[in-house]
Structure 1
Amino acid sequence: MFLKKLLKVKYKLLGIFILVTAIPILLVGAYLNFGTREIVLSNTMSEVEANADKMEMRLKSIIKRVINISDLIYINQDLKTFLAGQYDSPLEVYNAYNQYPVFDDYLTYYEEIEKIQFFMKKDIITDSHFIYANKVIQNQHWYQNALMKRGRLTWLYMQDHWTSKKYLALTRTVFDHENQPLGVLVIYISPDILKSVVEGVSYNTFITLDNKRIVYNQNIALLGRHANFYQNRNADIGNYVMDKTINEETVKINVHSFRPEKSLDNTIQIATQVPIDGIIHEPNTIFTRGFLISLGALSISLILIGFFTNSFHKRIQQLRRAMFQVAKGNFHITQEMKGHDEIKEVYKDLQTTSKSVQKIIDEVYIHKIKEETWKRKQKEMDFKMLASQINPHFLYNTLEMIRMKAILNKDPEVAKVIKMLSKMMRSSLKRTDQSIPLSEEVALIENYLEIQKLRFGEHLSYKMEIDENILSYKITPLLIQPLVENAIIHGLEMKEEPGMLRIRIQEDGDDILVEVNDNGVGMSLEKLNELNNRMKDQDYQSNGNSIGLHNVHQRISLLYGDKYGIRMDSVEGSGTTMSMNLPKQKN
């Protein structure tokens, strides 16, 4: 019983404090001094490591953009056509050059790029971007190396042809359609963007290439010099820390070395020099002051420790009882805890967690009910569709036989209608729980409209505005066709004059926006509000046999969320507009 009592936190704290006070103050001071130095040094190196991770991420992002631009230029057919072309006059060269402004576009929209130069083997034009590679240029090592790499990427620290300023640059050979070299592409990275990578770092930071050449440092005089602090290391890949003495000062050098994307021969390093003496000077001063203060506070702490442990013990017990209640499944914790420290925060977090768990349980229960309700409705719809699938192969074969009879009887209009009807039936009898490309839904709508066009003749006209860039996105089938059908049946069919139907499908940020507009009879504001409210009513039961707007809206809300669905806007006598937004998704 006595040993069990000693295991309580209250008595453990008292015992630990007594043992600590028995240790000689000098030994404690020495230990704390050493420990503080190590902690400060460790924290500093952790901070340096975190900054290095951020710099590496930024630098990789910059390099990736430059590589992507080089890929675009490498495969650009207009560039190859321009360089491989035969020109009879300077005017033809000038006109062909003006039709290829892509270099200027890259320089305008990508701040990572300082310059883009293309060293051509053909002497057709020379300006800031296109340079004729004469014998002097062709004999230079970087040019020969780029040709030897056969289109592979190479990173160099080289000077600009016109200004002789040196930059970190990417080189690669570009080939024509017959795999013959057209010249060497050189993309220079902006020094300002490299400066932004190391901006805000407290310690001296270097960006080096292949453990040899310094390509960026705050000290401009060091640019292009050999990075001798790597101690003849190979171009290792990874992160490591070196201890070195530079200018009679002990430093730790944190190095992040990585291989640029699509590069086989180059590595880039980010090296941060951390002076050891400067880091531990302040901890030593603080320790001396703290040691003197501790001597005075020791006597006061002996008096207060008893009061503190007793209060601490009571609050720990309260926290333990609350956690025991939660463990038993009682998530209603109403008692408040005194104090303003971490124990109270933990207690409040426990209360918040309990409320969140209870809320999640309630939400899961409600969602389960909604899901079961929707499954029941989906089954009802599937049963309706199943009733119409009486031997579909027999029906398709029969329609095909009728179509062939119409062709033999030289009635192409009837054959066309039967073919479109067959396609519509095949699409509508597919499973409605599997996504299809938007293009299939558009094809279904076109077949439906063509059939209606044959039915109504000049009384019906339509216009479709479809963004072709979104046709590959996937949607749930039979979402858009019911809107078109509703517009014809309830909007245009009851109109005496010819009717016009407009269908617009386009991108809207991360969504696909569908608008179906008719100039039919429209509806009153009262009727419009009734329909909008009915679509949002989950308990509404449709009496019709078709897939109505209520069903479509509920399917969209369940599949994609409440922010998606159908919206209606109408003016009596002028027409109706139905809008629907769906998320863009590839799968």
Structure 2
Amino acid sequence: MIKWKWNYMKLRDKLLLMYVLSVFIPIVVTNVVFYQVTTANIRNQKSRDAGMALNNLKNELRVTIDQGVGLSYSLYADPVFNDTLSRSFESNSEYIRAYNSYLKGEFSGQLSQGIRWYQVYTDNPTILSSGYIEHLNEAVRSTSWYKQLQNNVVPYPTLIATDQMLSLIQRLNNQDTGGIEQLLKIDFNMDLLQEQFRNSGFDGKVYLVDPGGHIRFSNDLSTENVSIGQLYGKMEFPNKTIRFDRVYSGINYLEGWSLQGVMDEEIVLQEVRKSRSFVVWLACINFVLPSIIIAAMSRSIHVRLVRILKHMKKVKTQNFQTIPPEDARDEIGQLTTEFNRMTETIRNLIDEVYLADIQKKDLELKQQQAQLHALHSQINPHFLFNTLESVRMRSLIKGEKETAKIVHHMAKMFRKSISWNQHDVTVKEELELIDSFLQIQKYRFGEKLQYYIEADPEALKYRIPKMVILPFVENASIHGIESTPGEGIIRLVVQLEGQNLHIGLEDNGIGMSAARLKELVGYLEQNMDMGEHVGMKNAYSRLKLCYRDRFSFSIHSEESKGTCIQIRLPLDGDESEVK
């Protein structure tokens, strides 16, 4: 079926389809695969670069915070510093002398690039508020950072975020302070942190999230969707986003803090998306331009083939007009030359031989029809039917029912041979005739003869020359079974094999020797008058007249084992099927 569909297409369409399947589609598929692979590679590379940038920002942020941690630990571990803050001074002058002689030197030089300011808070009433020291009063205790500190009772510094400010709070309780509360608050340089976030190289939004999941700092604070203290988990991001998570772990003062990075995948692949239109335009060019070239080149082929086809159709109507010659050396030009030569040859042959050949064929056809009618006349003895019918009626009157039954079968055979005015019958009608004949033979041989007739239901409707199987069955029963000492079996099988009707006949009779079989086959093949085996010769001759060399006939026989005949007839559609 596929083969015929290809043959239904025009040559120009075949060339175009061949280009589409062999060139255009592979190019498009290759471009699409390349685009997808490139997109995936760029996405992975961008993800790796973003991950490295976020790691670098994480390390830079820790370095900045470690500056404050270093300051807090240096003051926390200084016993003189802590003792001075917790000492009760007798007078302001005594405190001033202590401040100028020791505290002032401790505070100087402690600021660094990452620290904007630091302040010591104490509720020691004998200490004056000045410079880096402030009183820890109720106003301070009501601040947000102080309240957050009360929730973290730990010996190490606590990182606290308030009002876009990151601070490190350290309790100065390394020694006994006599009930005096002392705190060190270090404020980080937020401008430096902003610069670090801005110059991190991360192509997206970065959020510093505290252990409670609240955003404490970001490079995205300029938008209305982000505010300090907002829960990061409740933020809404576009569907196609790439997220990164870098958590601080193993560092007590940063435990639970994390950097969250969010990248828009469309922005990441923005440059790649621009090449998509290029791929589409390239595919269009790859399709349109070659299509025009193929159409132009196929025209020289298509037009000339159509011209040859038109002249071939003229030959069909006996118009032997030649194609005007052209200067072409390709295959179509050679085909045109040979077509003209063939056309002239056919025209000459028809002029010279046509009439004589028609007369000869007509004479041969009439001779074959006359021979066919002569063969039929040998098997159609009309006068015997009336005689047999009289015998059957007489047998019924005398009560000889079995004899009447056999005579009825004989009459049935002769009636069909007389009533068949056509040259062919259905397989079913032929098998009914054979069954009647074998019933007669069974009456003759009794239990010595057993026969079986098998036929495909679909095979019964096909038409075959009449009485071409019966003579072979008759030969098997009389010449094969009659001389058999034991039980004789005849098996007739009719079935369809593709476009052929297969007829198989077997018997277990006396069979034939190889010499006798060769003699019989030679007798059937000879074109001579009928002799022995007139029935087989008659049937075989009519098969040759009807089918010529389109049928096959084979016979195999062995002495004392039986004979097998195989006949295959072609099925010619409407000519063979019952209408």
**TM-score category, normalised to shorter length:** 0.3 to 0.5
Greater gyration radius: 2
TM-score by length of 2: 0.41
TM-score by length of 1: 0.40
